[in-house]
Amino acid sequence: MNAVEFKKGIYWVGAIDRTVRDFHGYQTPSGTTYNAYLLVDDKVVLFDTVAKGFSSELLARISDIIEPSKIDYIVTNHIEMDHTGALPEIVDAVNPEKIICSANGKKALLAHFHREDWPYEVVATGQTINTGTKNIRFIETKMIHWPDSMFSYIEEDALLISQDGFGLHWATEERFDDEVDQVKLMQEAAKYYANILLLYSALIQRALQNIKQMELKIDMIAPDHGVIWRSDPCKIVDAWDNWSRQVAIDKAVVVYDTMWQSTALMADAIVEGLNETGIEVRLMPLSQYHRSDVMTELLDCKAVVFGSATLNNGMMPKMADMLTYMKGLRPLGKIGAAFGSYGWGGEAPRLLDTFIADMKYESAGECLRVNYVPTPENLAACVELGRRVGAMVKA
Ligand code: FEO
């Protein structure tokens, strides 16, 4: 694929990574893209680079348009290695007049690459640079996704280059939102938000409000992952607004791991009770669902019901993994319940209750525990737990 011009004199020149399957714990079965953008004006500007190993792909696409050594400025909107892994090679190839970044960006670049000799130019929110016929305004967006992050806004094109903001992991050959399957598009966008940004929701909500107050006209949004939002940029901004406010629907997620199927039987009975209440229900055994897919479902659910058999005085390893991941991303404001079977100690459901309390979730009551294999009476109690959680969701 060649470079793609999407505004006059502005090109996608990034790289497509079809093979990456793990993004710091987030499973990416569809791969990803590392988007970089080239502005050709009196001054030539490259916005972000790509991951290490993709520099030749980036340089080849730049060379479709212009000799790379003609680039004057490299704007580094975000320092994480998926966008700067190739930076040292690109700096060597380009020898830029300026590397433009935020103050935190400069600190992070120094800590990553230890290059005091690079021509850093630090910018802050509201500062602009002129490239001849265009003005680029910078907007710091701390914690979208790291402290160094910023957006670049090209005023004449109403184009927001948003690094991780409004991104998604999908190694599609298509470059624009209107060219891809709309259901998968929003599923991948939600998965990306849930697994990368959810922890920073309060800051994201503030950033969205700040951008709203700036009254920027936005014709397109060009993130560093996934597609360019050209047909309806409001669609992804509105989705981020909902996700960052953690708006939830009448939905419960039952996530569990089982040893000899007793906890699985309990989960099925809880789902039966939940279904009776008419809410949406997702049953997610951790033997079949990756933690990042569970996180995606947790993004907009009102209730989460955790189940684990007891193993070696604790919970099942996949459940411990899930809770560690979930605690880090911190979905807020849920209803919580716990269950599980046990042989002697029975610690796992109690530990799940402790997790529910630590997350400050509204508890549906003390955990439901079953010794070894559930009886019909035990399963009836599980159905009742499902009904109770469903009623709380609908209240
Ligand atoms: Fe795509 Fe936070 O890096």
**Is 280 assigned a catalytic role?**
no
Ligand 1 atom closest to the Cα of residue 81 is 3
Mean pLDDT of 210-231: 96
The residue annotated as part of the active site, out of 17, 48, 57, 82, is 82
Q: Which helix (H) or strand (E) holds 111?
A: helix 103-113
Same domain flag for 316 and 340: yes
Cβ proximity of 19 and 27 under 8 Å: no
Q: How high does pLDDT run on average in the chain?
A: 98
Same domain flag for 256 and 378: yes
Q: Of 244, 265, 298, which one is at a domain's C-terminal end?
A: 244
Percent of the chain with pLDDT over 90: 100
Same domain flag for 312 and 214: no
350 lines ligand 1 (CB under 6 A): no
CA torsion angle 383 389 394 395 (round to 10): 120
Cβ proximity of 303 and 336 under 8 Å: yes
17 lines ligand 1 (CB under 6 A): no
Q: Of 202, 218, 244, which one is at a domain's C-terminal end?
A: 244
User: CA 324: distance to chain centroid?
Assistant: 17
Q: What is the pTM of this model?
A: 0.97
Distance 132 CA to ligand 1 centre (A): 30
In this structure, what CATH number is given to the domain that contains residue 236? 3.60.15.10
Same domain flag for 237 and 206: yes
In this structure, what CATH number is given to the domain that contains residue 347? 3.40.50.360
Distance 110 CA to ligand 1 centre (A): 18
Q: Of 211, 244, 277, which one is at a domain's C-terminal end?
A: 244
Same domain flag for 240 and 286: no
Distance 283 CA to ligand 1 centre (A): 30
**Is 114 assigned a catalytic role?**
no
pLDDT band, very low/low/confident/very high, at 1 (cuts 50, 70, 90): confident
Same domain flag for 323 and 186: no
Mean pLDDT of 346-371: 98
**Is 112 assigned a catalytic role?**
no
Residue range(s) defining the domain that contains residue 25: 4-244
Same domain flag for 49 and 135: yes
Q: Which helix (H) or strand (E) holds 314?
A: strand 314-315
pLDDT for res 115: 98
251 lines ligand 1 (CB under 6 A): no
Cβ proximity of 139 and 211 under 8 Å: yes
**Is 192 assigned a catalytic role?**
yes
Ligand 1 atom closest to the Cα of residue 145 is 2
pLDDT tens-digit readout, 306-349? 999 999 999 999 999 999 999 999 999 999 999 999 999 999 99
Same domain flag for 223 and 349: no
Number of domains in the chain: 2
Same domain flag for 235 and 363: no
**Is 145 assigned a catalytic role?**
yes
Tell me which residue of 373, 193, 199, 383 sits closest to 305, measured CA to CA: 383
Distance 145 CA to ligand 1 centre (A): 6
**Is 164 assigned a catalytic role?**
yes
Mean pLDDT of 171-193: 98
Maximal C-alpha separation, the chain: 78
